[in-house]
Structure 1
């Protein structure tokens, strides 16, 4: 065998007995424990598992990103012929961006907010190639155009905040492609993106791999994402590989109970509709994965504590009309003005929320979902329109008049990290609305907060812990407990599970469904994930460009969609069958080709 043929058959990535430990005050936490895998040129491998399973730590090790952090890394990590663990700093610099590049999960934090997108890509290119600034700028425009950024020359001068989430992710992919790497590592590249943008990013990665022959390591918690994007899967749990093999084999006939639990937790369009069948209900209790830092009780299922008797005030004393309507919005409009220009985020939206039901609101990013939700609970003033609650129009009410209603209309925000004060304990954050009412003694407030913590599946003794001590799923449970504290009648949930792994997502969704049934709550569930919305909603409203383009019962909207936009959203939802995923990708490619060539 010639040297050239040996190079062609040599693995692009070789990992053997990889172990990664992070030192702590009490010793060390082993994030990766004896991992082995390989990846050839042109191949795609999916690393799948929950948050805390060691996926990202493994990906970072391929580029030596743990160096200088205090982490202890051992074993063998070889990438494109470079021994990463023994390489010099100069060798690692040549490897990063040159032979191997990484696309990070959060493009907003990975991009410098002060510099234009094109300048940042050009800088990466000049690190590895001795070219002029103008040549580097031309290369930046070239790769931005390649990843589908329209009018790339002009948009290359834009800064990150001027790009949408999907465009920022494309910009990161363009930066990774600038030096034509042989390996692309994508760490949760579609987390928190809406389904259509997610499909576009995954299609782009597939096309780039087919064109360039580069290897792809796709890190994700979502088995639906990997189904149509990789050749092989490696399922990780607690730093170890629990199962691996061809994508079709693992997804159709998983051998490990943990893999089966992950598959069961994936929300599906063909799954049970409505809140009677919450996500995750069919996950085997003994195999249901949980947040790494959660109580041991969660290992046996969703620990939600004792179920209290619903208070009469919640079930009977609310402002419910004879037809069951709790809140009715008519002709809502919201404009945001910048100088002499105005942008209409919500335009002539009317809807009804009935007591005890879940209304799902779906649409792409920028469709107006969040703005609508904030108006419904009066965190935003409508520019025009009416909101009837309790027999009167609350749209024109000022802060003083709204104060008595604040406890009845609550919101669970998308990002629990930014919605919780990092300097206050989670117990005190939950206690805030109770203290604001002034009806309870300090002892009664603390007791009520501990009951709420237990109600959402958290240890009451964690009252004095701070947000950074909790996992993402646990922080979202804290946000739910805070919304429940004043005994509301309606809760607007704004993308409450968008950034969570599928098993934690299933737990949170199941918790919301149980709370609704027990307490008689009305929920407005805002999400871009149509599969999740199907499982939790009684009725669905589809938004586009600030308007509702279609609405009806779950079965009406999902089984017989009328609007082309709704049909497009449903077609972009990931599926677990690799063959079907490939067929859908080809259909999208043909559609894009027709749209480009159409006169």
Structure 2
């Protein structure tokens, strides 16, 4: 009898039970025989690269594939509801009531025309049928709960009046309005700066502690998972590769793929391998003095970059790190010549024209979808005056092969390539002009960690072979340390700290640099817990 009672009690604690889940889209099997359980109050991280099937699993928990033509098999039970067999009315009650989802891009999830508070109140009224006044009061209550300052006033604001971090908090508030048992967070911090990311992860942890809700965290970032969950399920090609307690999976992974995934994660505490030559002994290829760039006019004018001076040497990488609004991208565009400085000057070292090129963050938007990648790469060659089409085509093929693609890819279009391959095309186009300096503006921020590692390795290889100077602009401190000889930290248009990478990272002097480094996710869950406790203590003092 005791065994039966124990079994019944255990099943009552199960919030999510997935058994042999399959999801197919035509001939594509996105999820293939996946099984897992999530207890009440627990947190499970679904970790994997793009195409692993993790977001498809998250959607299946809420029955979002119904009516899409997807072929869904297996069993999915959430909060006692059989999602496969549930009626439309039951699914309606499940979504937002028993289980709620927070998506990656809050702008696409929020209506730009309506106040944040009204949108939350509407969700609450759909599930509770309370008065408008009570719903608005609930909206203010949950906005305050997720840390929106002056919640009553800000509840009247529209999405564009919120920062990225505040919009994500508003989505979490909307999810919490009906007090769900399960929160599904699909890449909730991908587009956020490191300090804002830490705040959102801390918020999710606090909500779990105080409300007992279960958390399913979908992420490609292993560090984010280490900060947030009790167990990790590593996915690849729709299947579970490894599943277990977060300490075990991250500390002693048993599967080669998991080890490869962890090995590709850049570490903020691991210095870059020493460069072959000392920066001090190298020639200056580009020098910027007193750069300032203003936007707007009159009283509305503001300086995005304010009195910035830099020296860039041949063969070195200068990392420029900072959060959104720090001015790092504006600085990079001035170095390339896409923006003219309001004040200050940029001059080549030794009087030699530096030929500065740029690799952009989003290769999709920087490549013309109606032109073959070969034609895009050929543009700098033609701009330089080359007219022999056979010679141009041969040079483009060489460049494609140089960045790890095939010469035969000349006639393919951007949509036929993966994200990492498109970034390689962008690098090939930059190389076509034979530059001495390449400015890389967030070149790997949209890529999975293994693809990210491949692109970083390619840039390093090209740098060594061609003597290129790289200016690596990024908000990811771990990536910047991995690639940089020297680092400049920007905040509100100014450089607050600058020096050799090891000195800046190991012995930061400016409080802002220390704050950034303290917010970087740690792969060790125990270290992550200590950092979270320190941030909580700092917030209450």
Same fold (TM over 0.5): yes
Q: Which residue of 2 aligns with 1:280?
A: none
Q: Is the 8 A contact 1:275 1:536 kept in 2?
A: no
The answer to whether residue 367 in structure 2 is matched with residue 367 in structure 1 is no
**Segment of structure 1 superposing worse, 374-383 or 474-483:** 474-483
Unpaired segments of 5 or more residues in structure 1?
Answer: 278-319, 394-404, 595-599
d(CA) in 2 for partners of 1:437 and 1:377?
17
Q: Which residue of 2 aligns with 1:297?
A: none
Shift of 1:246: 0.6
d(CA) in 1 for partners of 2:68 and 2:390?
44
Q: Is the 8 A contact 1:122 1:136 kept in 2?
A: yes
Alignment of 1:370-449 (within 5 A): 370-389=329-348, 408-449=355-396
d(CA) in 2 for partners of 1:130 and 1:144?
20
- The 1:381/1:454 distance shift into structure 2, 3 A limit, reads same
When the two structures are superposed, what TM-score results if normalisation uses the length of structure 2? 0.94
Shift of 1:565: 0.8
Number of residue-to-residue matches in the alignment = 536
Q: Deviations over 1:424-468 (max 9, x none)?
A: 332222222223333142222222222222222223333333323
Unpaired segments of 5 or more residues in structure 2?
Answer: none
The answer to whether residue 531 in structure 2 is matched with residue 584 in structure 1 is yes
d(CA) in 2 for partners of 1:591 and 1:20?
45
Alignment of 1:296-335 (within 5 A): 324-335=283-294
Shift of 1:121: 1.8
Shift of 1:110: 2.2
Alignment of 1:199-210 (within 5 A): 199-210=198-209
Q: Which residue of 2 aligns with 1:145?
A: 144
Shift of 1:36: 0.4
The answer to whether residue 9 in structure 2 is matched with residue 11 in structure 1 is no
DSSP 3-state at the match of 1:385: strand
Q: Which residue of 1 aligns with 2:156?
A: 157
The answer to whether residue 458 in structure 2 is matched with residue 511 in structure 1 is yes
Alignment of 1:467-478 (within 5 A): 467-478=414-425
Q: Is the 8 A contact 2:79 2:98 kept in 1?
A: yes
Alignment of 1:96-175 (within 5 A): 96-175=95-174
d(CA) in 2 for partners of 1:86 and 1:276?
61
Q: Which residue of 2 aligns with 1:573?
A: 520
Shift of 1:272: 3.4
**Segment of structure 1 superposing worse, 459-468 or 44-53:** 459-468
Q: Is the 8 A contact 1:191 1:498 kept in 2?
A: no
DSSP 3-state at the match of 1:575: coil
d(CA) in 1 for partners of 2:364 and 2:114?
26
- The 1:425/1:134 distance shift into structure 2, 3 A limit, reads farther
Q: Is the 8 A contact 1:13 1:78 kept in 2?
A: yes
DSSP 3-state at the match of 1:524: strand
**Segment of structure 1 superposing worse, 182-191 or 87-96:** 87-96
Shift of 1:3: 12
When the two structures are superposed, what TM-score results if normalisation uses the length of structure 1? 0.85
d(CA) in 1 for partners of 2:93 and 2:10?
19
DSSP 3-state at the match of 2:180: coil
Shift of 1:522: 0.8
Q: Which residue of 2 aligns with 1:294?
A: none
Structure 1 stretches of at least 4 aligned residues deviating more than 4 Å after TM superposition: 1-5, 274-277, 320-323, 390-393
d(CA) in 2 for partners of 1:357 and 1:87?
60
Q: Is the 8 A contact 1:14 1:39 kept in 2?
A: yes
Q: Which residue of 1 aligns with 2:178?
A: 179
2:428 to 477, 481, 485: 481
Q: Deviations over 1:293-320 (max 9, x none)?
A: xxxxxxxxxxxxxxxxxxxxxxxxxxx9
d(CA) in 1 for partners of 2:416 and 2:77?
34
Q: Which residue of 2 aligns with 1:235?
A: 234
d(CA) in 2 for partners of 1:502 and 1:31?
20
Q: Is the 8 A contact 1:426 1:466 kept in 2?
A: yes
1:462 to 409, 413, 416: 409
Q: Which residue of 1 aligns with 2:308?
A: 349
The answer to whether residue 36 in structure 2 is matched with residue 33 in structure 1 is no
